[in-house]
Structures are given as C-alpha cells and as structure tokens.
A and B are shown apart, each in its own frame.
Chain A
Amino acid sequence: MDAFLNQVFAGLATGGIYASVALALVMIYQATHLVNFAQGEMAMFSTYIAWTLIAAGMPYWAAFFLTVAIAFVLGVLIERIIVRPVEQAPVLSVVVVFIGLLVIFNSLAGWIYTYTIKVFPSPFPKEPVHVGTHFFSAHELGAVGVTLVVLALLYAFFRYTPLGLAMRAAAQNPESGRLVGIRVGWMLALGWGLAAAIGAIAGMMVAPTVYLDPNMMAGILLYAFAAALVGGIDSPGGAVLGGFIVGVLENLLGAYVIGNELKLSVALVLIIGVLVVRPSGLFGKIHVTRV
C-alpha cells in the first residue's frame, strides 16, 4: 500500500509538471488554434538561463523570478517577431516554423552549454517529509505546491482582472474584441509571454529530478500534449486535470504493468487514442475537423 501511494504521489508530482506545460499549450491554442511544438524547448532554454544566473552566484529565488520575467519577455518577442507573420498562413507553414523554433532553441542550448548534463538545484530541503508513516520527497511536495500556486494565480488573473478578461475575450472572438478596443495582437503576445513563463517554471521544477540537458523536455512535451488532449485542448481546467491524470497513469503503468521503458509509447497511444476516440477530451468543446 505504501509503495502504491508513493507511486501515486510521485505521479502527482510529475503530473503537476505536465499540467503546467499542458496549460501553456492550451493557452496558446485557445488564442490562436495553434499547438506550440517549441514549448518544451523554450522551457528548457529558460531553465538554462536560470542555471547560468545561479552559477553566477545569484540566490535561488532571485534567479527563479528573474528567469520567469526573462522567459515572459522572450515569449512576447517570439510571438511578435516570428509567429505573427505566419499566424494566418497554412497549417504546414506554421508547423514548420514551430519546428524551426524547437530546433533553434535545442541547438542554442547545446552550443552554449554543451550536451553534458548539469545539476540543477532544488529550493526545497533534501530530507524527506514525514506524513504519518509515509515518506515524501520534499522536492515533490514543493513542486506540486508551486504548480498549484501558479495555477491559482493564473485563474485569479483571468477571472478577476480587466486584462485577463480582455485576453479571454480576444481569444474567443478577436473581431468583437477589436470592436471594444482591445489590442488583439498584443493580447496574443501576452498569451505567449505567460505560456513561456509557465513553461520556465515547469522546467525549473523538473530539472532537479531529471538533470538539466538540452533534451530534457522532449518526453515531457509529449506527455503534456497527451495531457492537454485528455483534458480538452481548449480547456485550461481540463489541461490541468489531464496533467495529473497522465502523471499518475504513467507512474502506475510504469511500476505495475509495462515497466519504465515504454513510457513514451504510453504517451503515443494516449495521444492517438484520444484523437481518434474522443478528440474533444474530457472537457473540451472544440470540434476536431474530420474529413
């Protein structure tokens, strides 16, 4: 029972990471109907920026927040400069541009930081936490906590602030958004900035466990895709729930059914399964165009 609970909790911890990246994906999807294939690499690159700051002597939380800010600006710039010209272009062109971004970030990280793995610090204590008779890793608890805080802040932003309302409106109905004076283009840029910031946080939470290297996020991105699809690609709440579901599922299947070696294939099967059987996921409303 102990082992099972530990697996579930470990699954929730990684699930929180998937939930964050899935949320970033959904935010961009809602506003643009596009899936950002480069989301994982952007998160990885931001984590390297954090690593650089910490290695230069900056205290952890200062580096954390500075990285989040830098990632935000990076996201805004990418949307304005690289994505905007192709936003209306055919799907293939957009996908190619996103893959191009993926590849550039991956190779930039490899070029600047080399491919040797690096240790990334965790802000949480090393000693495990006792809850009754169970042990939980402090980092896992902390990561879940950080994820939940970020999600709560985002929810409050979108629900209760004028800017959040404007962003939601612009994503749903850009034309009407313009008619009430919303600068829709900048709302998109803001969405990208937020998505990049969330990705950076996810990267910094996962790096202590999997060690920092340029290919760190590839598998995680796949799981985030699966999570977003399971929850509903246009439902932020769904993406979060999907993330936790996928995280727990991955761990339980890995521990009890297929072993840890085929985890990515699980993501593949989930993705294809959801797309074929129930494309709108658990909570989504979107209609996947069928031929």
Chain B
Amino acid sequence: MTPASPATAVPAASSKPRVAALAALLLAVCALPFLVSNYHTFQLTLVLVYAIALLGLNILTGYNGQISLGHGAFYAIGAYVAAILMDKFGVPYWLTVPVAGVVCLAAGFLFGLPALRLEGLYLALATFALGVSMPQLLKYQHLEKWTGGVQGIVILKPDPPFGLPINQDQWLYFFTLAVALVMFVLGWNLLRGRVGRSLVAIRDQPIAAEAMGVHNALYKSLAFGVSAMYTGIAGALGAIAVQFVAPDSFTIFLSISLLVGIVIGGLASISGAVYGALFIQFVPNIADQISKAAPWAIYGVFLIGFMYLMPVGVAGALRIGWARIKRKAGSNEHRSG
C-alpha cells in the first residue's frame, strides 16, 4: 500500500505517438465548450480548477509525503484574495490569479516552517485543525469589512476580451484552460527533474536524502509553498467561475474532497489530478439526486475501498494496465518477427 513507485510517476513526453495523442486531446478539449451547454462548460471549468488544486496537493502529499488535511484553507485564501481584489479594489480578474498565487506561496511556505517539525500523523492533525477552523476565521466580525462576513462576496462574471465571438462561460473555460496548461507544464517540468526526485527522496528516505546533500528543510517548506500556490490559484479561478465566495463553501469537507481527489486519481501522478478532478466534480452531481448525504457516503466508501484495492489510484491502475498491454503486444511482435 505504498504510493506509486517514484521512478515511473512522471512520464517522458518525447515519444512521437505520445505527443500526437496529447495534441489530439488538446484539440478535443478546446472543442468541448462549443459542443455542450453553458452549464456543462461551467462544470468543465470547475474540473480544470480542481485539477490544478489536486496537482498542488499531490506535489505535497503524493510526491513529498507530507499529509495535508487542510488544503481547503489555501483554496479559500486564493478565492478570497481574488474576490476582495476584484470587489474592493477593482483589480481585473486575470491579475488576481497570479496575486492569489503569490499570497498562497507565502502562506504555504510560512505554514510549512513549523510543519517541518511534524511527521505524518501530527502533520495530518495540524492541517486538519487548519481546515476545520478556516470557516470560523472567515466569518470573524473584525475582518467583516474585507470578507463580507457570513454572506461573503459576490463578484461579476468577466466578459471575453477583444470582442471575441464567444460567451462568458466559454471565455472563462478557455482562460482557466490556459492557466491550467501553464501550471501543468510547470509542474511536469519541476517534478521530472532534480526537484521532483529530491521531493520523492525526502518522502521515501529522508535520512539518506539529507546525507546525499538534499536540503530537506528547504525542499519541504518549498513543497508546502508551491503546493499552496497551486491550490490558491485554483481557488482564485474557482471564485471567478462561481462568482461567489462565502465561508461555508470552504469547510473541512473541501479539504477532504481534495484528499479524495488525489487518492482516487492517483498519488504521485500528474494525470491523476485530472481523473481525481473529474471524480470530485461529477460524482456529487450524480449522487446528489439520490440524497443530500449520498455523495459523502460514496466518498467514504471509495476512500476506504481505494486504500484496500487500488492504492495507486486510477492513474496508477491505467499505467499498470497499459504496461501489461504493451508487454503483450511486444511479446507478440517477438513471436511473429
């Protein structure tokens, strides 16, 4: 039940069929908003938002082994930064995204410093406390003139720029897609290089890593910061898409949703972020029709079930399955060749 083996977690992109497949996928993804309703486009935008957040959490928990049960807090910070900047200071929506990223980078790094001394279970405890206490903090009366208190803040949906012939939902989708692509490419680069290997080394063999010259403390704090940055950017994008932030949107259950996302999608996996995002966006929609409580019951069962049956998540299972198919194809070639 260990997370996916690090060596195979970040795929190389250089093979031709792989590039072709990714290009085709990108084309399909761009075509989608023109093929489905506005509401579905909105849902797909949220999938992209969650994917960014999940990649962030995965960097910290999947690759670096630091358990966070409170990432909803960073999502909330990003969302509120965007909302406050837009509502109180008239900052254009596209600028709030990088600002939210920087704020959360700092917040994550700062939280990561005391967290350095905490291992496994205790870090989970501390981040759980962060996630539980966030809504109360957001409702605090002395911050009300910024945060809007219990009612939160409503923000306006941005219009497409340059008079493009698409509607607001479609524009938001492409905007979010662009940010997501940037964040994913950035993350992919980071994780497949020395940084990624160092993070994984710290996760699996911290003493050996330190002995080999990896500055554990720095990397762990940076991992926290970068992870928070990703989730904060996702929060900002989410706020813009939903047009609304309120404290009760950011309870511990948001943090738990993010955890569900990376467990289902696959720890230490980039594509896992996408599978996980699809899961946490659409399963509640479907399950909601059974009962208000059903989505969470499903989450719980899936969390436990995946730990027993598919600890590598969907991404890992796909990878293993694909490898098996390739092996069979390869051995067939040998025989016929």
Contact = CB atoms under 8 A, between A and B. Distances in A.
Direct contact of A and B (CB under 8 A): yes
Interface of A: 33-35, 37, 82, 85-86, 89-93, 95-97, 99-111, 115, 218-219, 222, 225-226, 229, 259, 261-265, 267-268, 271-272, 275-276, 279, 288-291
Contacts of B259: 96, 99
A86 B220 CA distance: 27
Contacts of A90: 1-3
Contacts of A110: 292-293, 296
Given A108-B293, A222-B128, A262-B136, 9 more contacts: A37-B69, A90-B1, A93-B1, A100-B300, A111-B294, A218-B132, A218-B252, A276-B117, A288-B122
A289 B119 CA distance: 6
B124 interface: yes
A91 B121 contact: yes
Interface of B: 1-3, 61, 65, 67, 69, 114, 116-122, 124-126, 128-130, 132-133, 136-137, 139-141, 206, 216-217, 220, 252, 256, 259, 263, 267, 291-297, 299-304, 306-308, 311
Given A108-B293, A279-B122, A222 B117 contact: no
13 contacts: A35-B124, A37-B124, A90-B2, A95-B69, A97-B304, A100-B302, A103-B256, A261-B139, A264-B136, A265-B133, A267-B133, A271-B126, A276-B114
A95 B129 contact: no
A291 B121 contact: no
B307 A101 contact: no
Contacts of A91: 67, 120-121, 124
A188 to B, nearest CB: 17
Given A111-B294, A261-B141, A96 B206 contact: no
Contacts of B133: 222, 264-265, 267-268
Contacts of B263: 96
B319 to A, nearest CB: 19
**Sorted from nearest, which 10 A-B pairs have the closest CB atoms?**
A100-B303, A104-B300, A107-B296, A111-B293, A110-B293, A103-B300, A91-B120, A264-B133, A100-B304, A107-B297
B206 A92 contact: no
B303 A97 contact: yes
A155 B217 CA distance: 42
A264 B134 CA distance: 8
A35 B130 contact: no
B297 A92 contact: no
A272 B126 contact: yes
Contact of B119 (A97, A263, A288): A288
Interface centre among A35, A92, A226 (most CB of B within 10 A): A92
Contacts of B296: 103-104, 106-107, 110
A275 B67 contact: no
A222 B307 contact: no
Contact of A265 (B119, B137, B304): B137
Contact of A92 (B67, B130, B304): B67
Contacts of B3: 90, 92
A152 B121 CA distance: 30
Contact of B307 (A86, A106, A111, A115): A86
